[in-house]
């Protein structure tokens, strides 16, 4: 699969095969990788000064296939920053991307990118306002409440991810943008591997919300061979 085509070359577009080779870091980030590929593939301008919020181990940096002048990545996790590529044009900041003072100090960018990270912002409207003041263009991929929807339905747990319809409205009120909502299904050989994936992938936010008894029931009774993911893609310009 080429970088640009993302999921499109997959004949069964949103159903991805779960690799049985257990244990590797990348395996547990299959969806985030696909998301980053699609996000980068949807950028048609060629921004030269880029800020990546929640840059992680460098998925976005590694996918950029045009010449750039500077790349600034912010991530609060030191283990992720440690895995990020280094280079003269790269500035890595181990920090909270909602630290507005820090953002103010960074100056102006051609594009602010964020892939699979903004769903954790504690005040997304405020952060988006600030982003709008510091860049010409934006490209975001944000996990939404259709993610793990069967689990939430079965357990009655409160979903912490944003509602895709509301998020779309919010983004369209702040940017001249194109929004697209994608649903993915990731197939697993059994229910235990699904819950292991949730734990290791980081998509769930890492908080433990279920009792052991409830987790056991889920593993026994979860009805599908797949987990669901919903991601909102937004690419556009500041107003
Ligand atoms: C699922 S990973 C995605 C990483 C990368 N963007 C990618 O596409 O592979 C989300 C990243 O966001 C970071 N993150 C979440 N909330 C953050 C915050 N408030 N400030 C800085 N980093 C944050 C996490 O540490 C994590 O590395």
Quick one: which atom of ligand 1 is closest to the CA of 55? 6
Does ligand 1 lie within 6 Å of residue 58's CB atom?
Answer: no
Average pLDDT over residues 82-105: 97
- pTM of the full structure: 0.88
Residue bearing the CA closest to ligand 1, atom 1? 116
How far, in Å, CA of 37 to CA of 2, rounded?
A: 9
With contact defined as beta carbons under 8 Å apart, do 66 and 46 qualify? yes
Does ligand 1 lie within 6 Å of residue 202's CB atom?
Answer: yes
pLDDT band at 199 (very low <50, low <70, confident <90, very high): confident
Tell me what pLDDT residue 202 has: 58
pLDDT band at 205 (very low <50, low <70, confident <90, very high): low
Does ligand 1 lie within 6 Å of residue 37's CB atom?
Answer: no
Condensed to tens digits (0 to 9), the pLDDT of residues 17-64 reads: 333 333 344 567 889 999 999 999 999 999 999 999 999 999 999 999
Does ligand 1 lie within 6 Å of residue 127's CB atom?
Answer: no
Tell me what pLDDT residue 46 has: 96
| Domains of the chain (ranges, CATH numbers) | 6-238 (3.40.50.150)
């Amino acid at each position: 699969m080429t970088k640009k085509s993302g999921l499109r070359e997959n004949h069964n577009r949103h159903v991805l095969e779960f690799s049985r080779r257990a244990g590797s870091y990348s395996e547990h980030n299959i969806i985030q990788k696909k998301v980053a590929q699609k996000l980068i593939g949807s950028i048609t301008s060629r921004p030269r000064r880029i800020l990546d919020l929640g840059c992680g181990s460098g998925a976005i940096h590694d996918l950029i296939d045009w010449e750039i002048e500077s790349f600034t990545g912010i991530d609060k996790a030191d283990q992720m920053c440690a895995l990020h590529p280094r280079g003269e044009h790269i500035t890595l900041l181990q920090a909270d991307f909602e630290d507005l003072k820090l953002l103010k100090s960074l100056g102006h960018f051609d594009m602010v990118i964020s892939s699979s990270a903004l769903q954790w912002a504690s005040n997304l409207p405020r952060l988006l306002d600030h982003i709008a003041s510091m860049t010409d263009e934006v490209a975001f991929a944000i996990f939404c409440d259709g993610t793990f929807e069967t689990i939430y339905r079965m357990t009655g747990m409160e979903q912490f991810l944003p509602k895709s319809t509301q998020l779309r409205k919010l983004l369209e009120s702040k940017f001249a943008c194109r929004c697209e909502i994608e649903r993915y299904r990731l197939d697993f050989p059994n229910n235990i591997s699904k819950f292991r994936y949730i734990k290791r992938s980081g998509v769930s936010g890492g908080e433990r919300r279920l009792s052991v008894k409830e987790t056991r029931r889920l593993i026994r009774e979860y009805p599908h061979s797949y987990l669901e993911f919903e991601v909102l893609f937004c690419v556009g310009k500041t107003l």
